[in-house]
Amino acid sequence: MIKRNYYSIRKNEESSIDLTILQKMFFIFYKELIQDEYFVKYLGLNIDILTKKITSESEESIVNKLYMQLVKNDLFPVEKYIDNYSEEDIFDMLEFLYDNCSKKIYEDYPLIGSYYDDLKGKKYFRNQINPILAKYKDGYEISEDGEILILGDIGFSTLFEAEIPTDDVENVTNKIIRANKKFRHFSSTVEDKRDAILELADVFEFLRPQIDKLELTKDENAIFNIANNFGIRHHNKKQKTDYDKGIWYSWIFYSYLAAIHTFLRMIHKST
C-alpha cells in the first residue's frame, strides 16, 4: 500500500496538530497495533473477533503496572479515558506501550509456529508514531530508548544521530548523550537545559588540552567563553544574564554540540 501525504496535508505541511487530534490519532494507532498483536506478549491485549472490542487477559494487572511506574490512575483502559488524556498522559502511555511492544512473527514451518521479536516491534512502533508526533506542536519523536524527545531544530537534527568519533565513553560519549536527552526531553525545564549545556561545557574542558594543540584562531577559541559570559557556569557582575533563556539556551546548546563534533573530527584527523 502506497503511503504519502495527500493534497490537503501537503498544502498545510507547516501546520501542526492540536491535543484533540493527537488523542484521536493516538487511539487509532493504539487499536491498530492491538489488532496486529503487538501488545499480546507483555500486556495480553487483543481484539475480540466477534465484538471487535479490545480485550485484556488482566486489566487489573495493567492498571497496577501503570500505577507502580507512573503513580497515575485513570489511564487504562485507554478507550475509557482517552478523551481526558493530557499531553503528558499521551506521552507517558506512548513510552509505556513502547516498552511493552513486540512483533509476532509467523513461521511457515509447523514445528516452529510463531514467536515474538521485541526489536522489530519497537522499530515498527517508532516508524508508525513518529510521523504523527512530528506534526504535534513544534514536533516530537520517540527515541530508540523509548523516550519522547523534542525534535531538533531544522539543520541541527542530524547532530543527534551523528557518530561521536571518540573512544572515551565516560568523559565524552556518555556526557553528550546525557546532554542530548536532558535538553530534548518533552518535560525539560530551563534548568534542565542549563544542566545540558553544562554537560557539554564539561566535555569542552576535558578536550581543551587536545583542542589547544590544533592552534585555533582567536575567533574559533571564543566558543570557550560562551558558558562563562552567559552565566551558565559561574556567576559574576560582568556576565550577561538579562536575556531570553528559552531562546538563547537553544543557540548555546546547538553551538556547543556542533563545535564538539567539529573538534572531535579535527582531533581524530590530526592523530
What are 91-110's pLDDT values in tens digits?
A: 999 999 999 999 998 766 55
Q: Residue 201 pLDDT more than 90?
A: no
User: Within this chain, do residues 124 and 166 fall inside the same structural domain, yes or no?
Assistant: no
The arithmetic mean of pLDDT across residues 129-136, rounded, is 94
User: Within this chain, do residues 30 and 129 fall inside the same structural domain, yes or no?
Assistant: yes
The arithmetic mean of pLDDT across residues 146-172, rounded, is 81
Q: At what angle do helices 87-99 and 19-35 cross, to 10 degrees?
A: 20
| Among candidate residues 94, 161, 149, the one with its CA nearest the CA of residue 125 | 94
**Cis upstream peptide for 131 (omega within 30°):** no
CA–CA distance, 235 with 250 (Å, rounded to integer):
20
User: Within this chain, do residues 200 and 94 fall inside the same structural domain, yes or no?
Assistant: no
Least confident of 85-89, 129-133, 210-214: 210-214
**What is the span of the domain harbouring residue 251?**
157-270
- Site of grid cell 501488545: 39
The arithmetic mean of pLDDT across residues 38-58, rounded, is 88
Residue 268 makes CB contacts below 8 A (sequence gap 6+) with: 165, 166
Residue 9 is assigned to a structural domain of this protein: no
Considering 106, 137, 168, which residue would you say is the last residue of a domain? 137
User: Within this chain, do residues 132 and 166 fall inside the same structural domain, yes or no?
Assistant: no
User: Within this chain, do residues 118 and 207 fall inside the same structural domain, yes or no?
Assistant: no
Q: Cα 213 to chain center, whole Å? A: 36
What's the pLDDT band for 131 if we cut at 50, 70, 90? very high
**Sequence-separated contacts (24+) of 203-207 with Cβ below 8 Å:** 203/171, 203/172, 203/175, 203/176, 203/179, 203/260, 204/256, 204/259, 204/260, 206/171, 206/172, 207/172, 207/260, 207/263, 207/264, 207/267
Domain count along the chain? 2
Residue 199 is assigned to a structural domain of this protein: yes
120 in Cβ contact with 105 (< 8 Å) = yes
Q: At what angle do helices 174-184 and 190-212 cross, to 10 degrees?
A: 150
User: Within this chain, do residues 93 and 176 fall inside the same structural domain, yes or no?
Assistant: no
Residue 145 is assigned to a structural domain of this protein: no
User: Within this chain, do residues 199 and 258 fall inside the same structural domain, yes or no?
Assistant: yes
What's the pLDDT band for 215 if we cut at 50, 70, 90? confident
User: Within this chain, do residues 72 and 180 fall inside the same structural domain, yes or no?
Assistant: no
User: Within this chain, do residues 32 and 105 fall inside the same structural domain, yes or no?
Assistant: yes
User: Within this chain, do residues 218 and 108 fall inside the same structural domain, yes or no?
Assistant: no
pLDDT the model gives residue 239: 44
What percent of the chain clears pLDDT 90, i.e. is strictly above it?
46
User: Within this chain, do residues 249 and 220 fall inside the same structural domain, yes or no?
Assistant: yes
Residue 7 is assigned to a structural domain of this protein: no
